[in-house]
Chain A
Amino acid sequence: MAQGQMAPGIVSGRLSSDELTSNFTDLHPPLAAHEAAVAADRCYFCYDAPCVTACPTDIDIPLFMRQIQAGQPEAAGETILAQNILGGMCARVCPTETLCEEACVREAAEGAPVEIGRLQRYATDSVMVSGSHPFSRAEPTGKTIAVVGAGPAGLACAHRLAMLGHDVVIHERKPKPGGLNEYGIAAYKSTNDFAQAEVDWLLKIGGITIETGSVLGESVSLNGLIENYDAVFLSIGLAGVNALRADGAEKDGVRFAVDFISDVRQASDLADLPVGRNVVVIGGGMTAVDASVKSKLLGAENVTIAYRRGRDAMGASRYEQDLAASHGVKIMTNVQPVAIHGNGAAVEIELEYTSSHDGQLKGTGETVRLAADQVLKAIGQTLEGAPEGLQLDGSKIAVKGAGRTSIAGVWAGGDCAAGGEDLTVTAVAEGRDAAMDIHASLTA
């Protein structure tokens, strides 16, 4: 019997299995063939299309729209995958509202862009369903490249290198490949274990070996990799999380949002997953939105996002904010946590209102207390475990050109590398481009 939303504390089984199943279905159900034809027909086949410019992986969107219109969704899928081998996941998780769909001329014309994301999913799904892998490997080059991290950047790099005839060994610290696609993406965006299915499909190219449980700095070292491989690509992501500076931050019930999200993604039965009655998520990015929506879907009664700056400064797009709001999440802006109260376990969070003067954020002194038996920290991830000797740019690995680090023979891309937004699609682009650069330098 479900415990209900009113059960106090952090408990599992707030909702029935049926409710949970219904809550965690696809955020956007896939398009049927006729829907896709109608939606694709709205594409104007723009000259030098703005949507392509807006796509970090430069997918030829008008071409794939036309291929859908012409009744060949698999050909459309190949057009996408040729530029973005993780086009299936990107179709699900890309903030299209700030990328291709924002640039779509129909957004300017009528506030209703071509549904590029959903159509990309339609096209890539049809390739995945067919079971075929439309790419093949070039003649073997005899070179082997080490890729560290099996997230989007690493997988994209590995696939492109394999396609070009190289062998690739991916060192992955976690038990499963996929990186944030597997452990970080909101469950309602990637259903039916899509991340693993996509990795399996990607590996069909051949020539890629994944060694899970292989941790840089422990089981392998950068110097060892440089010695044993023809090139190294680092795509280690941002494994660290920023700490919360507030009294009582160590109390029970306070945890990192990324861990909470990962638990949801890895749960074999959502009914076993505990969630608070009153959840407060600290932060303003996509992670904060994902964690808050998940809490709500698991049955939390009250979920609040507390963000220290104004709404405009939130990392989550307006679309993501609306998504949270539509699930009943309350968004509080200009509040910062000062203390978490409770005897051992969190009961309340005390937030102080803030105001900004000349870009400087200051507490106003006025505070408010919210019931909070669970506090999720979503205040950013940081680079952790980067090998010694790599030049950094701010808090990330410095790169030049297509991901060249300060050490010869070592490339980096994805969230761990400086430059570009921390998006799956950007990581794919960086991995792919680094692969082309590695190939060029190995075959020069």
Chain B
Amino acid sequence: MAGKFVGKQTVTFSSTPSVLETFSIVGPMEGRGPWGSEFDTVIDDEKYGEKTWEKAERKLVIEAVSQLLAKSKLQPSDIDFLLAGDLLNQITSANFAAAAFPISFFGLYGACSTIAEAMILAAMLVDGDYGEKVIAAASSHNKSVERQYRFPIELGVQRPPTAQWTVTGCGSILLGRGDKSPKVTFATVGKVVDMGAKDSNDMGSAMAPAAADTLTAHFRDLAKNPSDYDLIITGDLGKVGSSILAELMEQAGFPLAGNHIDCGASIYAEDEDVHAGGSGCAALAVGFGSHFYPKMLRGEVKKVLLAGTGALHSPLSTQQNETIPCICHAVAIEVI
């Protein structure tokens, strides 16, 4: 194992890259939620003035990256790498949006874990001295995802209580060298876990074992406990997945100490018809960027563990009755 490895799955960063800035843009429904006033931009038209849902999502990504640059008073030439991904086939939202920026680009697919994957790789790039400033971004759009994975938007279907509602939005995060806190201290890179779940209307119970696997590895590798963090923030396990995660962590001997919060389960107002909560790449990206990151800047929260979970199925694999392989990547971010 290389020198920066701790235990079996966790890496450390000798230069502890900083989370320098964040930017979030979300749709109207997310704007009505409890974090609504904290997002940088809330759009009131889900189509964002575009002709297709796919174009709308792409515009969200372009906006999130260019506004992040503006907020950080940087030019595209100041950025060494852009790492981005989304849920659409061949990650077209990220790929097409990247064409708008003269920045070296890595397109990533980790389903809803993409922002965690991007942050880990960004931190590694910075720590490995390959770049000074790197942008990580992830997007999802309720309508473009609904079209691709489920049914036509206006089709009358009744969703089961386990179904989740894809978050419309894009979160971009600037990582780089510097003294600014908070900093990325550790990352645990997940393994693909397949517990045989097949119901694509129940992502929570498909992804919970992957989350438990990575979190357990993280605590084992670092000889830590969940209570060592102020918050353990998962992306989109939703209500069902969160409740399963609690039981799995209890079984693994690392009971969550009441400090677990799931972005998907928290992003929408109680009276929205979203069943088990929100999902999608944007859930963790905008949740961390606009709700938790400012809390860290204000010193209200000092140590968080972000855990992005992703269901790695495709509409085709679901039709072929395959199981849903899942992954979870964890990133520790601390105010030092």
Bound pair: A and B? no
Give chain A's interface residues, CB within 8 Å of chain B: none
